Chains A and B, each alone.
Chain A
C-alpha cells in the first residue's frame, strides 16, 4: 500500500467532546439496546427446532399409522378375497373338466353324474348340472358338452364363459321367436303346431 493510502486509512481525529453525550442521550431515548448472546440464542433455536421435529415426526407417524392401517387391512382382505376367488375358480374349472371328461369319455356315466348333482330329479335327465366358473350350478344340455370342452378353460375362465354365453345369446336373439307358456298367442300357436303335427 502506498504511504498516502496508509495515512488516509489510519487517519484519526478526536471527535467533539459533546459527541458522547449526544450518543448517550440518543441511546437513553431508545432504551432498546439488546446485546444478544448468540450461543444462548442458537441453543434455544436448536432446542425449538428439535422439539418441533419430534412433534412433527410423532404426529406424522400417528397420522400415517392411522391412515395406512385400514388400507393395509383392506388390501389384505382384498388379497384374501382374490385368493379365495382364484381357488374357487380353480376348483370349478377342475370340476368342470372332470365332469366334462366323464361325459365325453363315458356317456353312460351321465346319469350317475346327473343324479349326484341334481338329486335324481326329472330335470336331471334332461339337463346336466355343472359348476360354473365361480362355483355356481349351471344347467346345460348334454349336447353342448363338446362345445364347452372345446372352449378355452384357461385362467381366468369367466371371460371365456361370458364370451361364449354372449355369443349364444346373440344366436338365440337372432333366431325366430320361440313360444312361451306365458303368452296366450304362443299357446295358440303351440296348439296349432301340435295339431298340425298330429295330422302329419
Chain B
C-alpha cells in the first residue's frame, strides 16, 4: 500500500519539493521526510477535503520546516507594499514551465516561499503569517518584493530570448 501511495503521488510531490527548495539535494531530503510523515500520520486524515491536498500540505510544511533548519529567514522588516499587479506577471504565461520554475527558483528563499504559498498554493497572508510565524505585513512585503524581483528577471529573460 505504501508503495502504491508513493507511485501515485511521488511525481506531484517532488514537483512541490523542487518549487520550495533551493536545489535537488534539499528537494530529495524534503521528499523523503515528507513521505515518512505521510505514512506516519495517514491515520489522522479524516477525509475532510482531498487526500492529495492533505499530502500537499504535509509537503509544504515539511519544506518550510526543512528550510527553517538551514537558514533564518524572514526578517520582520516591513516595507510599504510596492504593489505589482499580477498582470505584470502574465508574461510568465508565455514561458515554459521549466523556465518559469527556473526564474522562481532564483528568488531568495523568503520571497520564494511566500510567492509559492500565496500565488501558487493560494494561502492568504494571514495563513502564511501563522505558518511562517511572521506578521501579515511582512508576508505582504515579501510578496511585493518577490514580484518586483520576478518582474526584473522576466524582463531579463525576455531580452535574452530576443
Binding site for B on A (CB under 8 A): 2-5, 7-16, 19-20, 22-24, 26-27, 30, 32-38
Q: Which one of B12, B31, B39, B90 contacts A12 once the chains associate, using CB atoms below 8 Å? A: B12
Q: Which residue of B lies closest to A3 (CB)?
A: B93
Task: Report whether A20 and B93 are in contact in the complex, using a CB–CB cutoff of 8 Å.
Answer: no
16 contacts between A and B (CB under 8 A): A2-B93, A4-B93, A4-B100, A8-B101, A8-B119, A9-B121, A10-B12, A11-B18, A15-B31, A16-B28, A19-B28, A23-B32, A33-B39, A36-B44, A37-B43, A38-B43
Docked CA distance A30–B32 (Å): 14
How many of chain B's residues touch chain A, expressed as a range? 35 or more
Docked CA distance A19–B100 (Å): 25
Task: Report whether B10 and A15 are in contact in the complex, using a CB–CB cutoff of 8 Å.
Answer: yes
Name the distance in Å between A179's Cβ and chain B's nearest Cβ.
100
Name the distance in Å between B106's Cβ and chain A's nearest Cβ.
14
Q: Which one of B10, B92, B97 contacts A19 once the chains associate, using CB atoms below 8 Å? A: B10
Given A19-B31, A36-B43, are A13 and B14 neighbors across the interface (CB < 8 Å)? yes
Name the distance in Å between A62's Cβ and chain B's nearest Cβ.
39
Q: Which one of B6, B31, B42, B104 contacts A8 once the chains associate, using CB atoms below 8 Å? A: B104
Q: Which residue of B lies closest to A34 (CB)?
A: B43
Task: Report whether B11 and A14 are in contact in the complex, using a CB–CB cutoff of 8 Å.
Answer: yes
In the complex, what residues of A have CB within 8 A of residue B100's CB? 4, 7-8
Docked CA distance A51–B28 (Å): 49
Closest 7 CB pairs of A and B: A36-B43, A4-B92, A3-B93, A11-B15, A12-B11, A15-B14, A7-B97
Q: B152 an interface residue at 8 Å Cβ cutoff?
A: no
Task: Report whether A5 and B36 are in contact in the complex, using a CB–CB cutoff of 8 Å.
Answer: no
Q: Which residue of B lies closest to A20 (CB)?
A: B6
Docked CA distance A200–B121 (Å): 130
Docked CA distance A113–B12 (Å): 116
Docked CA distance A27–B40 (Å): 9
In the complex, what residues of B have CB within 8 A of residue A30's CB? 36, 40
Q: B3 an interface residue at 8 Å Cβ cutoff?
A: yes
In the complex, what residues of B have CB within 8 A of residue A12's CB? 11-12, 14-15
In the complex, what residues of A have CB within 8 A of residue B10's CB? 14-15, 19-20
Q: B140 an interface residue at 8 Å Cβ cutoff?
A: no
Task: Report whether B43 and A35 are in contact in the complex, using a CB–CB cutoff of 8 Å.
Answer: yes
Docked CA distance A7–B28 (Å): 21
Task: Report whether A22 and B11 are in contact in the complex, using a CB–CB cutoff of 8 Å.
Answer: no
Q: B2 an interface residue at 8 Å Cβ cutoff?
A: yes
Interface string of B113-151 (1 = CB under 8 A from A): 000100111000000000000000000000000000000
Task: Report whether B14 and A8 are in contact in the complex, using a CB–CB cutoff of 8 Å.
Answer: no
Task: Report whether A5 and B11 are in contact in the complex, using a CB–CB cutoff of 8 Å.
Answer: no
In the complex, what residues of B have CB within 8 A of residue A23's CB? 6, 32, 35-36
In the complex, what residues of A have CB within 8 A of residue B93's CB? 2-4
Docked CA distance A4–B102 (Å): 12
Interface string of B27-66 (1 = CB under 8 A from A): 0100110011001101110100000000000000000000
